[in-house]
Structure 1
Amino acid sequence: MITLINNVTTYNPDPMGQQTIALGGEHILGIDPDLTFTSSLQQTVIDGSTLIAVPGFVDSLVHICGGGGEDGFASRTPEMMLSDAITAGITTVVGALGTDSIGRTHSNLLAKAKGLKEEGLNAFCYTGAYHLPAPSLTGNIEKDIMFIDEVIGVGEVAISDHRGSQLDAKQLSELAAHARVAGMLSNKRGTISIHVGPSDSHLALLHEVAAHYDIPLNRFYPTHMNRNQQLLDAGIAFANAGGWIDFTTSTTDYDLAHGEVSAARALAQCLAKGVEKTRLTMSSDGHASLPVFDENNHLVGLEVGHERSLLLAFIEAVKEHKVAFADALRAITSNPANVLGIQKGTLAAGACADLVLLDSTSLLPRWVFVRGQCMMADGELIRKGRFE
């Protein structure tokens, strides 16, 4: 079956103007303003005149099999469902374990990623978790990265957080080196996802590793960098020194009232200060627990992250903070794909047909295609998870 999207404003994520896009099988067959397509195959034609075509969103940190546990067993958060991603325009997720890598396991994480793939989503995952020694499926992170297709790196490893392992530069450099070599041997990037907590040490450990070992800053992918203004300032310095930084879109009213910078505002601030636009990303931290700790690290509240926050942060960046549409878009498409080393986040002839058609006024998804399969049609969700 062929799908033709006529006269649609297109971003790849750079602006391409009005185009006609042809989808066939799992790929984009062509993008051209004068494209015509003659075939005996069944065709679906979509009028794109009130829509914007963009790459499917890449969510680089999702707790797809749930997270949490900071307030006991009953505080374990639920799993992500397929519709949580599709309704937010997300076509690719990267799953991770978090604080709990005991009750949650890599067997569970990988099985969930494979299940989401069977349901039609692009799904990857990290080996390792908050703590060292890094837990893994095979007992060895190098083997996980090399021999398990879905595993693309290690994370999220916690620094500057009372829940972390309080690791030192030598331990982190060894972990990064193992991930890098395993990535080289399996044609993966071997990214190290870094959970950055609220401690005043910020990113000092990453700079120490880069200063004393043969590990550059761009081996690390620190997230939660909008936790407070001081951490954001440290992130700006990190990005200017050659690293990438990620902003978390899931938040709470309490956190925003106590110093957290919204992801959209953080993105706008970095761009205004001249940070290279390709070094900035946003992720949802979907289905993670969002614990609130007092000054003595006592838990005083707990909420759950949502994948839809990624979409809402994109809209906030464009509409409220006047971030250029392409710059906001690349933070959730091509930029995270490049950090992770996956072939996603762009629209081009021959590329995988992961595509979202946004309403040109509201910027909400109207159509969602994953590997050429229509998952949402004219605002109606037509593909759900098996148990939804």
Structure 2
Amino acid sequence: MVTLIRGAEIFAPEPLGVRDILVEGERIAFIGQLDPAAVAELPGAVVIDATGLTATPGLIDPHVHITGGGGEGGYATRTPEISVTDIIRAGVTTVVGCLGTDSVTRSHGGLLAKARGLEEEGITTFVYTGSYQLPARTITGSVVDDIVLIDKVIGAGEIAISERRSFQPTIEALADIVSQCHVGGLLSGKAGVTHFHVGAHESRLGPLHRLLDDYPIAPPAVYATHITRDDELLVDAVALAAKGAFVDMTAGASTVESVRRYVELGGDLDHLTLSSDANGSLPRFDAHGRLIELQVADQSTLYEQVWACVESSGLDLHQVLAFVTANTADALKLFRKGRLAAGKDADLLLVDEDRTIRHGFALGRQTIGDGHLRIRGTFDSPSARPETGRSR
């Protein structure tokens, strides 16, 4: 399959100007200016006129509850699995699946099967072994073995710290799992990252600072999420990123304000990512730890907040795009993802002036065409035509 995309303004995520993109199979073969003679030598190629459209890498979402999450309010509050159509229409082409509070009724076998199913349906998937608790529940019985022996496992997470739902691990236990992940990553050529769920307790990121200060831990092996619960936590995250760790904001109503504050504090923009927490629960507890409200995170929020940041955060488009493309690829060592360049995976979006995805590709396969989904989940209704990504 050969696709020629003509005349798009490319943000790779850095701005490249108006150029053509040639896709062959699953990879980008060429980015530049093709003369008409060269185009004529591509018989059978699908040609897309992208004049007036902006080309970006497909989004990478490093934190998705692909098998659902929740359960903090009892069995009826377990959230549903995600659909590939929800992922695609939000401009996401790569997801990392994780378990959360519940690793009893949600299993790593189910997580791995769901990831493989989503990949069969058209996107790229990876997973974390482990969950909130330590010692970590795994597939093989070992964090190192999971990372080395199972292709989709790239690290462990989300390990909970600084909140009531955490299993209150010691610093030694945290150092142990980060070290296991790191060694597993070395042996397999993967990220070997440990992804930390951070709560609102006053200890905040203190345990992770102690890891980096008191143990021979490589800073990029530490990846903290949910860093926008309050201003003190955000300040702490800026300090953690300054040490070389990666930090992640969960997209939501306060994302623009949080990004502005991160910049104001001098935060390292190269070590910041955004994620959706899609299909995870968003619980709210009272002072006594009783659940008083529960919502479900939506995959589309990530796309909406990217463009909200472009419009209102004070950052340029290429800087914001990096939070969901290049930076995430660097944090997870996904070397063929997150950038538009020859040899990279052909994961890309073509967006119009209204921020609507007109065309989308995942591994060279067209997922969105003329604003409509080209592929759907196995059990989705054939007549359903969900709206594709649009900023609101």
Same fold (TM over 0.5): yes
Band of TM-score, shorter chain: over 0.9
| Cα deviation, residue 273, structure 1 | 3.3
Q: Distance in 1 between matches of 2:367 and 2:158?
A: 29
Which residue matches 2:138?
136
* 1:316-352: CA deviation from partner (whole Å, max 9, x where unpaired): 1011223210011000001011101112100001211
Which residue matches 1:116?
118
Which residue matches 2:362?
370
Counterpart check, 1:52 vs 2:45: no
For 1:1-388, what aligned pairs fall within 5 Å after superposition? 1-34=1-34, 36-39=38-41, 41-250=43-252, 262-343=254-335, 344-359=337-352, 361-388=353-380
Q: Distance in 2 between matches of 1:243 and 1:321?
A: 23
On the 8 A contact 1:196/1:222 being kept in 2, the answer is yes
On the 8 A contact 1:334/1:346 being kept in 2, the answer is yes
| Cα deviation, residue 236, structure 1 | 1.1
TM-score (norm 2): 0.94
Aligned residues: 377
- AA partner of residue 24 (structure 1): E
Q: Distance in 2 between matches of 1:311 and 1:59?
A: 10
Q: Distance in 1 between matches of 2:127 and 2:70?
A: 17
Q: Distance in 2 between matches of 1:5 and 1:126?
A: 35
- AA partner of residue 219 (structure 1): A
* 1:290-323: CA deviation from partner (whole Å, max 9, x where unpaired): 0011122211000000111110110110112232
* 1:188-230: CA deviation from partner (whole Å, max 9, x where unpaired): 1201000001101000001111222111332210000011111
| Cα deviation, residue 90, structure 1 | 0.2
Q: Provide closer, same or farther for how the CA distance between residues 196 and 144 of structure 1 changes in structure 2, counting only shifts above 3 A.
A: same
* 1:255-314: CA deviation from partner (whole Å, max 9, x where unpaired): xxxxxxx22322232224332221111000000000011122211000000111110110
On the 8 A contact 2:28/2:345 being kept in 1, the answer is yes
- AA partner of residue 21 (structure 1): I
On the 8 A contact 2:259/2:313 being kept in 1, the answer is no
Q: Secondary structure at the match of 1:270?
A: helix
Percent identity for Structure 1 against Structure 2:
40
Which residue matches 2:389?
none
On the 8 A contact 2:98/2:157 being kept in 1, the answer is yes
- AA partner of residue 366 (structure 2): C
* 1:139-184: CA deviation from partner (whole Å, max 9, x where unpaired): 1111110011100000000000100110111110011111111111
* 1:68-109: CA deviation from partner (whole Å, max 9, x where unpaired): 001111100000100111101000000000000000000000
Structural RMSD (CA): 1.2
Q: Distance in 2 between matches of 1:271 and 1:46?
A: 38
* 1:112-157: CA deviation from partner (whole Å, max 9, x where unpaired): 0000011111000000000011001111111110011100000000
Q: Distance in 2 between matches of 1:160 and 1:40?
A: 57
Q: Secondary structure at the match of 2:235?
A: helix
- AA partner of residue 348 (structure 1): A
| Cα deviation, residue 40, structure 1 | 5.2
Which residue matches 2:386?
none
Q: Distance in 2 between matches of 1:339 and 1:40?
A: 37
Q: Distance in 2 between matches of 1:149 and 1:250?
A: 31
Q: Distance in 2 between matches of 1:42 and 1:272?
A: 51
Q: Distance in 2 between matches of 1:181 and 1:237?
A: 25
Task: In structure 2, list runs of 5 or more residues that go unmatched.
Answer: 381-392
Task: In structure 1, list runs of 5 or more residues that go unmatched.
Answer: 252-261
On the 8 A contact 2:61/2:92 being kept in 1, the answer is yes
Q: Provide closer, same or farther for how the CA distance between residues 211 and 322 of structure 1 changes in structure 2, counting only shifts above 3 A.
A: closer
On the 8 A contact 1:127/1:135 being kept in 2, the answer is yes
Q: Secondary structure at the match of 2:358?
A: strand
- More displaced, 215-224 or 370-379? 215-224
- AA partner of residue 358 (structure 1): V
Q: Distance in 2 between matches of 1:212 and 1:117?
A: 40
Q: Distance in 1 between matches of 2:257 and 2:42?
A: 49
